[in-house]
A and B are shown apart, each in its own frame.
Chain A
Amino acid sequence: MKKVVKFISGGLLILLVSAFTVNKTISDGYKIGDVAEDFSLKNIDGKMVSMADYKKAKGYIITFTCNTCPYAVMYEDRIVELNKKYAPKGYPVIAIMPNNIAVKPGDALPEMKKRAEEKGFNFPYLIDEKQSVYPKFGATKTPHIFVLEKTNKGNVVKYIGAIDDNYKDPSAVTTKYVEAAVDALLKGNPVPETETKAIGCSIKV
């Protein structure tokens, strides 16, 4: 839980950390340009998955999502489409479920497996069992997307944010942020919009 409070009074900026805060919380996570550490997380088939497994990838569309958040659910089909379109071009989707399953039993591995089958997930759906990966990324909610580019110095964070600009109506979308980012990276161009905001469900700790 993010318990960092920004209190702005006049020109004074004071950072207050609430008494309940665990030390790790000023985890703002990766910024654009940071190198993301690889992970090894359990997939719904029981196998462990890392970014390094994708030898031919040019990058990754890391998607923090879950079964129980209505926003995440609204984007499921669009995530499937993203993988369909970009995995062959070298940018596969890797989905990670970050919630504490004690708080959200509907996000437990068997439930994840069920949902993935129902929706025809064509990408790995991993569970962050120790809840140690999402804080490194600085993911705060589902859905929350991180586009990484594989480079000589590692997997560099190139885009953080939403999939597009209309959660409720795919046909009313005017900007597909993730697609724009990946398209730009594939052409060797700078990402047009590197960070976007969207409403989501806070990650359950």
Chain B
Amino acid sequence: MKLKVLFFAILIMASCSKVKKKEGLSQLAINESVQKKTQIKNNDLKIYDFDGFEKFLNQKDGKIHVINFWATWCGPCVKELPYFEKIHETYKDKNVEVLLVSLDFPHQYDSKLKPFIKDKKLKSKVIALDDPDMNTWIPKVDPTWSGALPATIIYKNDQSAFFEQSFTFESLEKEIKPFLK
């Protein structure tokens, strides 16, 4: 029994150090060339169907997750993006993670979305959700969501709030604050 525990402890330590090593390496790469980083980021647009995406809605890691559904063609979404960026800037050290989920059309990933991410120098994590069977997945994000963009979900473990509306920085910060306590 004791041996088993020891074994697992070693295993965990080993995997931890592995992760650290990886971080260290990527850190190095970032320092190496900022230009390169942008390129990597742009080429690296991760695209999910809903099954693949669903895990982002259920991360019980004690962090405050701010997930914004948007698209480059959605005027009010683009308008409020800077506020999400500012939340990311202001609260990234306070356990807040911003995730920008683009619902851009796949044929515009290269022509619109990737250039947009680059031009606006988005710092928050951006992923793309491509799943045409919306009637199946929209209610899984939130049963009250009609499907209109923009929409935002804020959650921490089992506590969550959903918003089918646009935000200002102040109104967004106000909704995040209760989660910080």
Report if A153 contacts B (CB, 8 A): no
B144-181 near A? 1/0 per residue, CB < 8 Å: 11111110000000111111111000010001000000
Known: A141-B146, A165-B134, A197-B134. A202 touches B161 (CB 8 A): no
Interface residues of B in 75-90 (CB under 8 A from A): 75-76
Does B165 lie within 8 Å of A201, measured CB to CB?
A: no
Query: Mask for B56-97, Cβ within 8 A of A = 1, else 0?
Result: 000000000000000001111000000000000000000000
The residue from B76, B138, B165 contacting A198, defined by CB atoms under 8 A apart: B138
Does A9 lie within 8 Å of B163, measured CB to CB?
no
Q: Are B171 and A196 in contact (CB under 8 A)?
A: no
Residue in A closest to B160 when the chains form the complex, CB atoms:
A8
Known contacts A8-B161, A141-B148, A200-B149: does B105 contact A168 (CB below 8 Å)?
yes
Tell me if A148 counts as interface (CB < 8 A to partner B): no
Chain A residues with CB under 8 Å of B73's CB are 70
Interface contact B132-A202, CB-CB below 8 Å: no
| Chain B hits for A79, CB < 8 A | none
With a cutoff of 8 Å between Cβ atoms, the chain B residues found around residue A140 in the complex are 146-148, 164
Q: Which of A9, A103, A161 contacts B135 (CB 8 A)?
A: A161
Q: Is the CB of A199 within 8 A of B149?
A: yes
How many A-B pairs have beta carbons closer than 8 Å: the answer is 90
Interface string of A136-167 (1 = CB under 8 A from B): 00001100100000000000000001100111
User: Which residues of chain B are near A103, meaning CB under 8 Å?
Assistant: 75
Asked if A187 is at the interface (CB within 8 A of a chain B CB), the reply is no
Closest chain A residue to B154, Cβ basis? A7
B115 within 8 A of A: no
Q: In this assembly, does A5 line the interface, its C-beta being within 8 Å of a C-beta of chain B? A: yes
Report how far A20 CA is from B172 CA in the complex, Å.
13
B139 at the interface (CB under 8 A from A): yes
Measured between beta carbons, the chain A residues less than 8 angstroms from B105 are 70, 168
Q: B106: CB under 8 A from chain A?
A: yes
B32 within 8 A of partner (CB): no
The interface residues of chain A lying within 8 Å CB-to-CB of B106 are 168
Out of B145, B148, B158, name the residue touching A201 (CB < 8 Å).
B148
Q: A7-B161, A18-B171, A197-B138 are in contact. Are A203 and B148 (CB under 8 A)?
A: yes
B70 smallest CB distance to A (angstroms): 11
Rounded to whole angstroms, the CA-CA distance of A8 and B142 in the bound complex is 11
B103 at the binding interface (Cβ < 8 Å): yes
- Contacting residue for A162 out of B74, B103, B135, B144, CB 8 A: B135
Chain A residue with the shortest CB-CB distance to B130: A168
Bitwise, B112-135 to A at CB < 8 A (1) or not (0) is 000000000000000000001111
B162→A6 contact, CB < 8 A:
yes
Q: Is the CB of B132 within 8 A of A141?
A: no
Q: How far is the CB of B38 from chain A (nearest CB, A)?
A: 27
Q: Which residues of A contact B (CB under 8 A)?
A: 1-3, 5-10, 18, 20, 70, 103-104, 140-141, 144, 161-162, 165-169, 172, 177, 196-204
A to B CB contacts below 8 Å, 6 in the list: A8-B160, A9-B159, A140-B146, A162-B135, A165-B135, A177-B135
The 10 closest A-B pairs by CB, nearest first: A141-B148, A197-B138, A202-B148, A140-B146, A196-B135, A166-B132, A198-B134, A140-B148, A7-B161, A199-B147
